[in-house]
Amino acid sequence: MLQELRNYLVVTGGYWAFTITDGAIRMLVVLYFHQLGYSPFEVAMLFLFYEFFGVVTNLVGGWLGARIGLNLTMHIGMGIQVVALAALTVPDAWLSVAYVMAAQALSGIAKDLNKMSAKASVKIMVNDDSGSKLFKWVAVLTGSKNALKGAGFFIGAALLDWIGFRGALGVLAGLLLVVLVITAALLPAGVGKMKSKPRFTQVFSKTPAINWLSAARFFLFGSRDVWFVVGLPVFLYEVFGWSFTEVGGFLALWVIGYGFVQASAPKLIKRSHHGLGPGGGTARLWAFVLALFPAGIALGLQYGWPAEPVLITGLILFGVVFAINSAVHSYLILAYSDYDKVSMSVGFYYMANAGGRLVGTILSGWAYQTQRLEGCLWWSSGFVLTAAILSFGLPEIKPAAETRELKGS
């Protein structure tokens, strides 16, 4: 048990450090290049390869993790992120759209290698079939990660104000390099490595539940990024006149709060699944509830209600319900996966996640430029409704393995 907990904490610590740099570089790129005169759509296009290569990385990364071990894929991701951060420290004359897109491609590869490795490792480290215990552990990992990504937004914006774009990148790269060395020394080799070498064709899931969940995940995360990536920060900067630090601080607090809710999700929805792991019905219910919020915010803005209280209150409520949706999904992918195929199942699932973020990112820039923030929010509501409908294909979790834990406790 102590070794299991130690490994979990090492993986979580590495994931935390990576996540801070991931949130910071996102805010740095959005704000710095908007300041340089890039349009909202052009800023969104800077993240095109970040999201596209996230799709590819999740597909290949799950298979690679099963072959060489999740420890190695996690640290390869960290190393690539250090290179991606350093690549953006060149003079402004070098920072063409193509160059920044290439650097963001490296960052996208790094992020999804790290995320897939960390989350798949939890299934292996929680060495039993306990639905409730697995739900708690993955909720804490994912929730704390999102809280720290929010901290990364604030750190990125604050560093941009304090020491400039290149100074911020240097600090972040140095931090991550130190963590890489420490976690590589502490984590045992071979975590998640399959005994037999899997064929690449095995990455495509043959489990209907995983396919339905992956499709729902595509639209769930598209619904967030369609307003969050470009539309919201540019709106806060242009319309409300907030400073970089204020924009980064608000988004940081939103994501930190979202992370805390996600980590607390097992307690918040405990009664809805009788203390066991949640199933398809829970995912459907919370998706339908979530769809109400972006539509409500859009209506409030269109009818001329006070913009700041409508937007801020609405987005806080959206964040709470979105966090519960995300926590349920993060549990279900592990619950639906076999132990020996978990890295490939998680890789396939996060390929869909990255695909939704890719579409959401592109739509965020285009919709804000053509339909303003209200248009982004209507797209968001439509995406969530689609996720809710797809969730009708999700089965309930069979309680046989879970009741073994309850009897023994």
Round the average pLDDT of the chain to a whole number and report it: 80
Residue-level pLDDT at 407: 33
109 contacts 53 by C-beta, under 8 angstroms: yes
* pLDDT score of 190 more than 60: no
Q: What is the mean pLDDT of residues 170-175?
A: 92
**Which CATH architecture describes the domain 2-190+200-408?**
Up-down Bundle (1.20)
* pLDDT score of 203 more than 60: no
CB neighbour burial string for 295-321, b if at least 16 within 10 angstroms, e if fewer = bbbbbbbeeeeeeeebbeebbebbbbb
Tokens of 42: 């052009």
The least confident of 316-320, 348-352, 362-366, 403-407 is 403-407
* pLDDT score of 218 more than 60: yes
Residue-level pLDDT at 171: 93
pLDDT in tens, 94-144: 888 888 889 988 998 888 888 777 767 666 666 555 455 666 777 777 777
- Tell me the C-alpha to C-alpha distance, in Å, between residue 138 and each of 50, 73, 125, 239, 380: 25, 19, 11, 38, 26
Residue-level pLDDT at 405: 39
The least confident of 60-69, 208-217, 356-365 is 60-69
* pLDDT score of 408 more than 50: no
* pLDDT score of 288 more than 90: yes
The pLDDT confidence band at residue 149, using thresholds 50, 70 and 90, is: confident
Q: What is the mean pLDDT of residues 199-224?
A: 79
Residue-level pLDDT at 209: 86
The pLDDT confidence band at residue 398, using thresholds 50, 70 and 90, is: low
Question: Of 136, 117, 129, which is closest to residue 342 (Cα–Cα)?
Answer: 117
At 143, the amino acid letter reads: G
Residue-level pLDDT at 202: 52
Q: What is the mean pLDDT of residues 80-98?
A: 89
Cα angle 98, 104, 108 (rounded to 5 degrees) comes to: 140
At 114, the amino acid letter reads: N
* pLDDT score of 292 more than 90: yes
The least confident of 32-36, 287-291, 325-329 is 32-36
Residue-level pLDDT at 55: 78
Cα angle 345, 351, 353 (rounded to 5 degrees) comes to: 105
354 contacts 55 by C-beta, under 8 angstroms: yes
- Tell me the C-alpha to C-alpha distance, in Å, between residue 33 and each of 37, 39, 88: 7, 9, 12
114 contacts 148 by C-beta, under 8 angstroms: no
Q: What is the mean pLDDT of residues 71-88?
A: 89
The least confident of 4-13, 71-80, 147-156 is 4-13
pLDDT in tens, 243-256: 877 887 888 788 88
The pLDDT confidence band at residue 366, using thresholds 50, 70 and 90, is: confident
Q: What is the mean pLDDT of residues 402-408?
A: 36
pLDDT in tens, 206-217: 678 888 999 999
